Amino acid sequence: MGAASMLTGACLALFGLVGVSFGSLWAPGALQFFADHESWAQLELIVPFLPILMTATGVRLVVQSRQLGAKSRGAS
Amino acid sequence: MILSKWANGYRLFWLVTVTTSIAVVVKMGGLDMASPTDISSMIQFSVRCSVPWLYLAFAASSVLSLFPGSFGGWSKRNRRYLGFCYASAMAWQLTFILMMMTGHWTYYSDEVYAFGDIIVQVPGYLFLTAMTVTSFRPVRQLLSARHWNMLHTIGIYFLWGTVWSTYWYELYYYGDIQPIDYVYYWGGILAWGLRLWAWARARSELAADPLAQTGPA
Give the model's confidence band at B217: pLDDT under 50 very low, under 70 low, under 90 confident, else very high. Answer: very low
User: What single letter denotes the amino acid at residue B26?
Assistant: V
Across the interface, whether the CB atoms of A71 and B207 are under 8 A apart is answered yes
In angstroms, rounded to a whole number, what is the distance separating the alpha carbons of residues A37 and A54? 23
A-chain residue closest to B161, CA distance = A49
Distance CA B25, CA B13 (A): 18
More confident residue, B196 or B2: B196
- Cα–Cα distance, B170 to B212 (Å, whole number): 44
Helices (H), ranges, chain A:
2-21, 23-36, 50-75
Element housing B57 (H / E): helix B36-66
pTM, full prediction: 0.89
Interface check B37 vs A, CB under 8 A: no
For the stretch A26-57, pLDDT in tens is 999 998 888 888 777 777 888 999 999 999 99
Chain B hits for A74, Cβ within 8 Å: 210
Nearest chain B residue (CA) to A27: B172
Phi/psi at B68 (5° precision): -60, 115
d(CA A43, CA A37): 10
Q: Residue range B49-78: average pLDDT?
A: 91
Query: According to the model, what pLDDT value does residue B215 have?
Result: 43
Per-residue pLDDT band at A69 (split at 50, 70, 90): confident
Cβ of A24 within 8 Å of Cβ of B171? The answer is: yes
pLDDT tier for residue A3 given thresholds of 50, 70 and 90: confident
Nearest to A67 among B169, B173, B207 (CB): B207
Q: How confident is the model at residue B216 (pLDDT cuts 50, 70, 90)?
A: very low
Compare all CA atoms of chain A with the CA of B174 and give the residue at the minimum distance. A28
Position B55 scores a pLDDT of 97
Cα distance between residue B34 and residue B103, in whole Å: 8
Q: Indicate yes or no: CB of A63 within 8 angstroms of CB of B200.
A: yes
- The B residues from 115 to 154 touching A (CB cutoff 8 Å) are 116, 119-120
Task: Assess whether pLDDT exceeds 90 at residue A15.
Answer: yes
Counting residues of chain A whose pLDDT is more than 90, the rounded percentage is 50
B30 DSSP assignment: T
Tell me the C-alpha distance between B12 and A6, whole Å. 44
pLDDT of residue B103: 85
Q: Which residues of A touch B (CB under 8 A)?
A: 20, 23-24, 27-28, 31, 42, 44-45, 48-49, 52, 55-56, 59, 62-63, 66-67, 70-71, 74
B172, B204, B210 ranked by CB distance to A74: nearest: B210
Mean per-residue pLDDT over chain B, rounded: 88
Q: What is the pLDDT of residue B212?
A: 55
Decide if B120 contacts B77 (C-beta within 8 A).
no
- Residue pLDDT, tens place only, B147-199: 999 999 999 999 999 999 999 999 998 878 899 999 999 999 999 999 999 99
